[in-house]
Amino acid sequence: MLESFPNVNLDITPGSEMYYNFSKYPEKTREFFIKYQDRIVFGDDTAVTKDGIARELIYNRIRFMRSFLETDEEFSVGPTDKNFLARPDTVKGIKLPESVLEKIYRLNFLRIVGDKPKPLNIPLAKEECHRIGRILEEKYNYSRRDNFGYQAEELLDSIS
């Protein structure tokens, strides 16, 4: 797909299985990351809710992702996030070169979105959050209380 669509970029926001599967083939994964280093963006999709956020959980996931990218060691998910991999297995890092890490952590993001914040179109953002909330509610039976789409819409309401 990346060969066919040269303008496609991807992020490495961790899915529960993604890093486990990467770790099965660390050399091939490393080759992929180096080959597509200009198209990979570091990310995390941890949500902030009305109830706050578990900082240790976020820090643990970021440490986990960075260990995977920066070392060639075997390690497991920290104790605050046992369900992250949904498996008890360890993961082996791919130890990318510093120049590749700089692109993944920072430069690719800046190339895509720029280095100056742009104003948020709050009505459009609320509309999109509502659309996502409706999908989560109808397709996945998320209650309004646990629905990040609706929660984000309410947060935008409170600041507009």
pLDDT in tens, 101-139: 999 999 999 999 999 999 999 999 999 999 999 999 999
Residue 52's pLDDT is what?
60
Residue 78's pLDDT is what?
61
Domain boundaries, given as residue ranges, for the chain: 10-113, 122-159
Please answer whether residues 64 and 14 qualify as being in contact, where contact means their C-beta atoms are separated by less than 8 angstroms.
yes
Residues of the chain with pLDDT under 70: 16, 47-54, 78-88
Among 59, 52, 14, 83, which residue's Cα sits nearest to residue 151? Answer: 52
Rg of the chain (C-alpha set): 18
Residue 79's pLDDT is what?
60
Instruction: Convert 145-158 to b/e letters by CB count within 10 Å (16 or more is b).
Output: eebbbbbbbbbbee
